[in-house]
Amino acid sequence: SERFINRSKNRSKRLEKVHVVIGHKSCDLDSLISAFTYAYFLDKVSPPGVLCLPVLNIPRTEFNYFTETRFILEELNISESFHIFRDEINLHHLNEEGKLSLTLVNNNVLTSEDKTLESAVVKVINPVEQCDTGFEFWEPSSSLVAKEILQEAPELVTEQLAHLLRGSILFNWMSIESEKMTEKQEEILSILEEKFPDLPPREDIISVLQETQCSAQGLSIEQTILKDLKELSDGEIKVGISTMYMTLETYEHAPIL
């Protein structure tokens, strides 16, 4: 909730044990929602003296690139000013002082700049799992987080939290263009919808998210590319890969590069 974020920011000014929940550097909707909700869960179940913080793994100046994320947070009246961004907290300093614990969501590998933080990692919520057949399958982190909270402390799930998790799961399903959701995702959505029958219809959320995804909303070409930039590295060479969304009509009239 908004009160949780505001209270966490105020407490972070004091030195104490800090458990940071941080998502992928691409700061996609799944990473942000997972980090926020899991930090909220940890804050409720951790012993006194442990400060649990969701941290967005980008500088504050880049947040305006992420239109889908901003939309859902604006829908819930959660102000951007309440968030903690990567350039606003010194994780390396906290780790050197022995005060840092890290939970990674939607990511199981630290960047080369953060390799020294490996000793602080206590949990990894990784959406890629190995099946008995040998194939890997992908489940959004928000689905895994929702499952854990519903199992461990279902009373902590508020309507606002359900809206966040549900929106993230729907957006991930929409993004991979699968005809059917996995049984796990459908089960979690059904539990949340049964618990909070006043949640908006799925079709309404998907429709608005699709419109938001296809709209650059005033972003420059550079900002649009940076918005979904992902980094691949073999340890020596780094390659950036990005995605640009557009309607079929726009694509058909775009100049050939």
When pLDDT is averaged across residues 216-243 and rounded to a whole number, the result is 64
Choice among 27-41, 43-57, 153-167, 168-182 with the minimum mean pLDDT:
168-182
pTM of the model: 0.76
Residue 135: predicted pLDDT: 45
The dihedral over CA atoms of 53, 59, 61, 67, expressed in degrees to the nearest 10, equals -70
pLDDT at 118 over 70: yes
3-state class of 233 per DSSP? strand
Alpha-carbon span 39 to 45, nearest angstrom: 10
**Domains of the chain and CATH, by start:** 1-216 (3.90.1640.10), 221-253 (no CATH)
- 8 A C-beta contact, residue 32 and residue 23: yes
pLDDT in tens, 163-222: 889 988 988 887 776 667 788 889 999 999 999 999 999 888 888 777 766 654 555 556
- Mean residue pLDDT of the chain comes to 79
DSSP 202: H
Return phi, psi of residue 197, to 5°: -65, -15
Residue 231 confidence class, pLDDT cut points 50, 70, 90? low
Structure tokens at 58: 């980008």
pLDDT at 19 over 90: yes
The dihedral over CA atoms of 76, 79, 80, 85, expressed in degrees to the nearest 10, equals -90
Higher pLDDT, 168 or 8: 168
Distance between first and last Cα of the chain: 45
Alpha-carbon span 234 to 85, nearest angstrom: 27
Higher pLDDT, 142 or 206: 142
